[in-house]
Chain A
Amino acid sequence: ETGVTQTPRHLVMGMTNKKSLKCEQHLGHNAMYWYKQSAKKPLELMFVYNFKEQTENNSVPSRFSPECPNSSHLFLHLHTLQPEDSALYLCASSLRPQVNTEAFFGQGTRLTVV
């Protein structure tokens, strides 16, 4: 238990569906992140939020839409995904939006797009 919780753990969705991934952290952190891990590729940073404000969008397609209503919660809204979007999606948080604080990860959501 890292203090970062992701739901659901597994998700299968069709290409026309709309779904959302949820991340919640109980660590009092102010920065939250979404990462994507595809088969045989390094973890890729998708989005960074600091104090609820998006500070990084790593050229992510618009079919992925993040939302950060407060410093404890982060969502990733999904719509009209492609099969190549199937991956493990990991959420992380860190204490301060600075460069030298330790990041903690959730268990991940394994997404399959059919």
Chain B
Amino acid sequence: GIQVEQSPPDLILQEGANSTLRCNFSDSVNNLQWFHQNPWGQLINLFYIPSGTKQNGRLSATTVATERYSLLYISSSQTTDSGVYFCAVVFSGGYNKLIFGAGTRLAVHP
């Protein structure tokens, strides 16, 4: 069936470390977004990246649509980066249906 898989499920870092989060998806997509969910439940848009590479400060993302994966890079992590990171996709023919992965829970310790 249609799947969005994120890895790792949990990640613990020391402040200042770098990390890579991965999102694999089972079929071709027309839309891919990365979100950060803060402790209050708010989903914050990080990247809208159905293909290619984007950077925003310490964060960058790359989607290789032909190989059905996306990567989120966090450099020089800070304690405020803690939370859950979600990848969400709209599969081709999925018409608005943004399907979420299970998320990666990140804890950054000082």
Contacts and interface: CB of A to CB of B under 8 A. Distances in A.
Given A42-B102, A42-B103, A43-B86, A104 B45 contact: yes
B90 interface: yes
Contact of B94 (A31, A88, A99, A110): A99
Given A45-B98, A50-B96, A92-B98, A107 B42 contact: yes
Nearest to B38: A107
A108 B96 contact: no
B98 A31 contact: no
Interface residues of B, number: 28
Contacts of B103: 42
A57 B40 CA distance: 27
B5 to A, nearest CB: 10
Most A Cβ at <10 Å: residue of B30, B86, B96: B96
Contacts of A92: 98
B11 interface: no
B33 A102 contact: yes
A100 B30 contact: yes
A107 B41 contact: yes
15 contacts: A2-B45, A33-B98, A42-B102, A42-B103, A43-B86, A45-B99, A55-B95, A97-B96, A99-B31, A99-B90, A99-B92, A99-B93, A100-B30, A107-B41, A108-B41
Contacts of A33: 96, 98
Contacts, number: 66
B50 interface: yes
B100 A43 contact: yes
B43 A90 contact: yes
B96 A110 contact: no
A59 interface: no
A42 B5 CA distance: 11
A50 to B, nearest CB: 7
Contact of B97 (A45, A90, A108, A110): A45
Contact of A56 (B43, B48, B88, B97): B97
B101 interface: yes
